[in-house]
C-alpha cells in the first residue's frame, strides 16, 4: 500500500515534469504538487491503490519486454514476407491456447504479448483458454505459446507457474 503510494507519487511527478518542462517557475511547480495530491486522494477514495497500481516495477519485467521485442521483430519479418509476396500464401487458423496464469495481471500480460506479436491476435479470453487467430498456420505451434506463457508468468512472478516449473524441473 505505502509502496504503491510512493511509486505512484514518483511516476506522477515525473509525468508532470515531462509534460510541462518548467523547473524554475515556483507557481507551476506548486500547481503540479497540488494536482498530484488531488490524483492521489481520488485514487485513495476509489480504493484502486493496490498491487495493480504499479504492475511492472522490477527488473524482471524489463528483461521480458526485451525478449518480447526480439520476438516481435522476428514475427514482423514473417508477416511482411507473407503479405508482400505476389502469391500471398496465407493460412488463417483459429486455435485455443491454454492459459495457466492465476492472476489477472498475468493473464493480461500473456494476452497482450500474443496480440503484440504480429501474426497472432487474442480474440477472446475464456476461463483458462485464449482463442487465438493466426495469419499463418506455422505460427500456432504450441511450443511457442508455452514458452511465452512461462516467460510472462516469470515476469509478473506468478505463483502458479512457479509451482509448475518446480514440478517440471
Partner 1 sequence: MNGDLLHILQFVISAVLMAGGIFFVIAGAVGVLRLPDFYTRMHAAGMTDTLGAEMILLGLIVQAGLSQTSLKLALIAFLLFLTSPTATHAVIGAAHHAGLKPKLGKYRALAPGEEPLAKSKAKAQAKSKVKSARKSRAKKRVK
Asked if 76 touches partner 1 (CB under 8 A), the answer is: yes
Asked if 141 touches partner 1 (CB under 8 A), the answer is: no
- Residues 155 and 117: beta-carbon distance below 8 Å: no
Q: Between residues 46 and 88, which has the closer beta carbon with respect to partner 1?
A: 88
Neighbours of 145 (CB within 10 A): 21
Q: Between residues 54 and 131, which has the closer beta carbon with respect to partner 1?
A: 131
Q: Between residues 17 and 164, which has the closer beta carbon with respect to partner 1?
A: 17
Residues in the chain, how many? 169
Burial label, 97 (beta-carbon count in 10 A; 0-12, 13-18, 19+): buried
Neighbours of 139 (CB within 10 A): 21
Asked if 54 touches partner 1 (CB under 8 A), the answer is: no
List contacts with partner 1 (CB under 8 A). 18-19, 21, 72-73, 76, 79-80, 83-84, 86-94, 111-112, 115-116, 118-119, 121-124, 131, 133, 135
Amino acid at each position: 500500500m505505502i509502496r504503491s503510494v510512493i511509486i505512484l507519487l514518483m511516476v506522477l511527478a515525473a509525468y508532470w515534469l515531462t509534460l510541462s518542462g518548467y523547473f524554475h517557475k515556483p507557481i507551476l511547480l506548486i500547481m503540479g504538487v497540488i494536482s498530484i495530491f488531488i490524483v492521489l486522494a481520488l485514487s485513495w477514495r476509489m480504493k484502486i491503490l493496490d498491487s495493480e497500481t504499479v504492475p511492472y516495477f522490477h527488473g524482471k519485467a524489463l528483461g521480458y519486454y526485451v525478449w518480447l521485442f526480439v520476438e516481435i521483430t522476428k514475427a514482423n519479418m514473417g508477416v511482411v514476407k507473407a503479405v508482400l509476396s505476389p502469391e500471398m500464401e496465407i493460412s488463417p487458423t483459429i486455435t485455443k491456447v491454454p492459459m495457466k496464469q492465476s492472476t489477472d495481471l498475468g493473464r493480461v500480460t500473456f494476452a497482450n504479448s500474443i496480440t503484440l506479436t504480429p501474426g497472432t491476435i487474442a480474440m477472446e479470453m475464456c476461463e483458462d483458454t485464449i482463442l487465438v487467430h493466426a495469419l499463418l498456420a506455422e505460427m500456432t505451434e504450441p511450443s511457442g505459446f508455452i514458452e511465452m506463457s512461462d516467460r510472462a508468468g516469470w515476469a509478473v512472478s506468478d505463483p502458479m507457474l512457479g509451482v509448475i516449473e518446480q514440478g517440471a524441473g
